[in-house]
Amino acid sequence: MSLARDAAAAEAGMPGSVTAPLTSAQGGKLHKPASWSLSARLPDYNGPFKVGVVDIETAPTAAVDKGLLARVFYPTTDAPTAPQCEAAAAAETSSQPRHAHAHARRPAPAHHAQWLPKRLLYSIGYGDFLGLPAALAVMFVAPSLSGVTMPAFLNAPLRPASAGAGAGGHTHALPERLPVVVFSHGLAGMRTTYSTLCGCLAAKGFVVIAPEHGDGSGSTTARNGYKTRILYRRPHKSEIRPGQTQDEYLKELRNGQVEYRANEALEAVDLLRKLDAGHFDGASENLLHAFDGGFDFRQFAGRLDLRNVAMIGHSFGGATAIAALSRPNHPFACGVMLDPWMFPVKNPNVTVPFLTIQSETFHWRQNLTELSSMFRSSATHPSSRFAYIRGTAHNDPSDLAGLFPGVLRMGGQVGTGDPLFAQLVNDEWITEFVRTFMPSCQLALPSFRAYSVDNPVGTPDAVVSGDRAIQDLFARLDKQ
């Protein structure tokens, strides 16, 4: 594998070729809200609850020596408020924290969170990954992304437990303890790159924690309250040791990164344990306290169902999920890998049920061979599933596909179909799969029986599953 191939392989796709009309399990679709704004917009979440988000950064540990930075998605109230939300929203987009929130003020309506938590930092980071100088990133990337907001409320309160049919006619029950998802982003991603997928799960009642990985695989990230920047790490020939082949060097680099990412995923679960026990003091332990609007983390005490935790990731995040699920005594009930990049993974040994959903155009022969071998391994749980979605390309699960479908389609980075449709299929199938393997979960999740592991009828025409899916993908490679 060449250095250029390694840098691009995990996030590159080719245009799809399927144009037949497709349907999801429920025949639904994600919808973008109507707006007069010229800014790109994200779709509303697929679930009954409104969604809140809060950012957390913790101090370094032995396993995660840069500390953990993550965004938490969770169900919030129907009319969310956030203490000192004006100061928090201003701090989220400014270059320095605002301390106006130190003065008490009445709760006000919560603001929608910015998709870029720090406009210039992440705009320059995305630009750098694309090979743009910082000045061009500020001129072109920042204006394109700075106006994008998420349909989630910054620092809003966690929704209280209810039996349903509560105030305002809300009929959806929310139990005391909520199931948990850890989501790992792909190469060049960040903690909000998959906010639609994470938000749709939170809108159904999950608590989703999305680490922003500090291994150098993100377009950029920062620590110490945004004071310390971590740049994207490109492989370089100068790092190859005497006697080491290029493939050996790349394998060592990427495996080291994926194991660090797996450490972060497990650290995220440890953080959730602290939150559930009421042992996390935001004022002293959240290094982003200056940006959290005085969020009271005690709201999570006794609210997290840590018996029911799923590990999900896309691309390099899919590799991260495999690495985390291969660890002994891991805390996950099941896993989901979207287009996993197999090159960084060493000796996969996933024994819990897993679902792996592919795009139609991502895989090359070595990647598909390693993934299918893992799926067909004797260690694989018999209820694990393999599938692909017709007419899709590698970046369809990310927010970028929904924000800029035309631009990405011209570059072959999204499929021929509607990326919002592909995101809906992912959401429905993930929900059904995770629901199946969290039998003690108290949350009443919707059922998408077309994706059930014991469905005798078969999945909708949007997807191909099982051995046929593997055969189709290999046949596609044979034609290239």
Give 176's strand partners: none
CB–CB of 194/169 below 8 Å? no
Task: Please identify which residue in the block is written with the tokens 């809140």.
Answer: 52
CB–CB of 423/402 below 8 Å? yes
Alpha-carbon span 286 to 292, nearest angstrom: 9
User: What is the CB-side half-sphere exposure of residue 378 using CA atoms within 13 A?
Assistant: 0
Q: Strand (E) positions, 212-319?
A: 220-223, 228-231, 304-314
Q: What is the pLDDT of residue 54?
A: 97
Alpha-carbon span 29 to 420, nearest angstrom: 7
DSSP state, 218?
A: S
- Residue by residue, pLDDT tens for the chain (480 residues) are 545 445 445 444 333 333 333 445 555 568 776 554 556 889 999 999 999 999 999 999 999 999 999 999 999 998 887 654 544 555 555 545 444 344 444 556 779 999 999 989 999 999 988 888 999 999 999 998 988 999 999 999 999 999 764 444 446 899 999 999 999 999 999 999 999 999 999 999 999 999 999 999 999 999 999 999 999 999 999 999 999 999 999 999 999 999 999 999 999 999 999 999 999 999 999 999 999 989 999 999 999 999 999 999 999 999 999 999 999 999 999 999 999 999 999 999 999 999 999 999 999 999 999 999 999 999 999 999 999 999 999 999 999 998 988 888 877 778 888 889 999 999 999 999 999 999 899 999 998 988 888 765 556 788 999 999 999 999 999 998
- Cα Rg of the chain (Å, integer): 21
Q: What is the pLDDT of residue 7?
A: 45
Alpha-carbon span 396 to 419, nearest angstrom: 5
Task: Look up the pTM and report it.
Answer: 0.89
CB–CB of 463/23 below 8 Å? no
DSSP state, 373?
A: H
HEC string of 133-155? CHHHHHHHHHHHHCCCEEEEEEC
pLDDT tens-digit series, residues 302-348: 999 999 999 999 999 999 999 999 999 999 999 999 999 999 999 99
HEC string of 442-466? CCCCCCCHHHCCCCCCCCCCCEEEH
Residues 6+ apart with CB under 8 A from 3: 235, 236, 237, 246, 250
Q: Does domain 3-478 have CATH number 3.40.50.1820?
A: yes
DSSP state, 175?
A: -
Q: What is the pLDDT of residue 133?
A: 92
Q: What is the pLDDT of residue 103?
A: 42
Q: What is the pLDDT of residue 94?
A: 55
C-beta neighbour count of 21 within 10 angstroms: 8
The DSSP code sequence of 230-257 is: EE-----GGGPPTT--HHHHHHHHHHHH
